[in-house]
Amino acid sequence: MTVAVRAADEILRVGVVQQLRPCPEVELLDGADAERAQATLVVVDSVDDDVAALLHRLRRNTATRTGLVVGSLGSGSLQRVLECGVAAVLRRGEADQDRLLHLVLAMANGEGVLPGDLLGKLLTHVGSLQRSTPDTRGLSLSTLTTREAEMLRLVSEGLDTAEIARKTSYSERTVKNVLHEIITRLNLRNRAHAVGYALRNDLI
């Protein structure tokens, strides 16, 4: 897995690079080569407009999937980064070698990673938005089939491909195909983006 690490603060960048460098599963890229990395980790204290702009730029690079290693992240910022196409989020205080490697490998497998408490905050935040803002686009559960909605709900609960397959009695290949179809049809970036979109539009 080729990985690029980006950070405005060089100390933050070097810290993550040093954690990943000994891992044989990871090849670190920098400079001009960073554009062709399969995964890009963005390391920040918090999400501001500059970080959001960087995430938007990375989203346009179809060669890479983006992960965020962040000091602090509120529920509103979480929804913002998911809409920017971020596939995985890890708190900087928890970013040891094992968790960083798990994050990168999950991204390589097309899976999203989100701490459970942040997912809870996202659900609460989206729920309050839905109660306070009328849905003017008329989106409904009919946008997803029953099977698609079920699988997205399981993704939102933090299950990976194998766990969803066991829970639904489908093959892992079928699970991947169904989720890929949702992402493609709705013009989304990844599973995390699909969950954020579905929650925001009351699809699951």
pLDDT in tens, 160-184: 999 999 999 999 999 999 998 888 8
> In CATH, what number does 2-124 get?
3.40.50.2300
Quick one: pLDDT at residue 19?
93
Quick one: pLDDT at residue 129?
53
Spell out the domain ranges in the chain. Answer: 2-124, 146-201
User: Average pLDDT over the chain, rounded to whole?
Assistant: 83
Q: Predicted confidence band at 2 (pLDDT cuts at 50, 70, 90)?
A: very high
If phi over 0 gives left and psi between -120 and 50 gives alpha, with beta otherwise, what is residue 110? left
Architecture (CATH level 2) of domain 146-201: Orthogonal Bundle (1.10)
pTM over 0.75: no
Q: Token pair of 38, please?
A: 């399969």
Alpha-carbon dihedral of residues 57, 63, 69, 70, nearest 10 degrees?
A: 20
Query: How many CB atoms sit inside 10 A of residue 155's CB?
Result: 25
pLDDT in tens, 82-127: 778 888 899 888 889 999 999 998 888 888 777 766 666 656 655 6
Rounded CA-CA distance 202/198 in Å is 6
